[in-house]
Amino acid sequence: MTEVDLKFKILRVNLRRHGLNIAEDVFKRHHHTTKPKDEICVFCNSITAITKEHVLPKWILENNLQETMTSSVNKQMITYNKALVPACSECNNSILAFIEKYIIKVIQYMDALDNCSNEDACNIIRWLEIIDYKLQVLDCRRKYIKYGNSEYDRDWGRFSVSMMRHFLSMSPWRAYDWLRSSQRRIIVKEKIKGVNSLIILKPRIPHFYFFTQPNEYIYLSFPMCKIAVFYFFKRRYEYYEDAAAEALDIIKKVAESG
Ligand SMILES: [Zn+2]
């Protein structure tokens, strides 16, 4: 087992063991009437050495840390610099940081060789699933701000209420189901069936761009190379071309609405 396989495995094992607890905590924390408990790591349930993990890693954001981006799907403004979720220092600095370094290499190989092995594609999928999970954790935490009634860490409390607009139209339990779904995807080791749902694009100019529909798809382009990825979290395709055509449709609509 390679080092990166091992890191993904630790994440799977921890979420299999603690996912339910974590999801309930993330979800219920924001509906409490008493003082909230200590923050827990949303990857392993630990309460030791809790740090703030960026939903999107800093290396993707580059100079865009302070920038406010609009999510194409729900039209909500997000300041990426403040998009943080709690993770213990082991998960943040040892596991997720390692995976990110690995992903940077994969993306740079892809750019140079114009190719990507199935193994690398599976690891990109695993990484994108982690981002989707973090986004959903963040969305659940923003709900708290909406009902805001406690002296929470100031950094968490700065998100605008409007960021939650997307979730206000649905029942809270649906958001919980989504959170659990995103955990369940991470827990599943095998990703080969999703490889056709991962579309690799080659933008003409390297730049950072991001949009997502939680639980459905994600688009990310990278500032350091001419690579962009689009991934359908749930939809599966017999042919890559069909997935690519659908992804391009979505990208075009987002570009037009933006
Ligand atoms: Zn942890």
This prediction has a pTM of 0.86
Residue 68 β-bridge partners: 79
- Centroid of ligand 1 to alpha carbon of 137 (angstroms): 14
- Centroid of ligand 1 to alpha carbon of 37 (angstroms): 16
Which one is predicted more confidently, 30 or 162?
A: 30
Q: Per residue in 70-105, is it b (16+ CB within 10 Å) or e — as a string? A: ebbbbebebbbebbbbbbbebbbeebbeebbebbbe
- Centroid of ligand 1 to alpha carbon of 88 (angstroms): 4
Residues 38-59 have pLDDT tens digits of 899 999 999 999 999 998 888 8
Integer angstrom CA distances of residue 233 from 128, 193, 237: 9, 11, 12
Over the chain, what is the mean pLDDT? 82
SS3 of residue 85 by DSSP:
strand
Integer angstrom CA distances of residue 131 from 38, 144, 151, 196, 211: 23, 20, 28, 19, 12
DSSP character at residue 86: E
- Centroid of ligand 1 to alpha carbon of 239 (angstroms): 37
Give residue 209's pLDDT: 86
Can you tell me the distance from the alpha carbon of 231 to that of 206, in angstroms, rounded to the nearest whole number?
Answer: 19
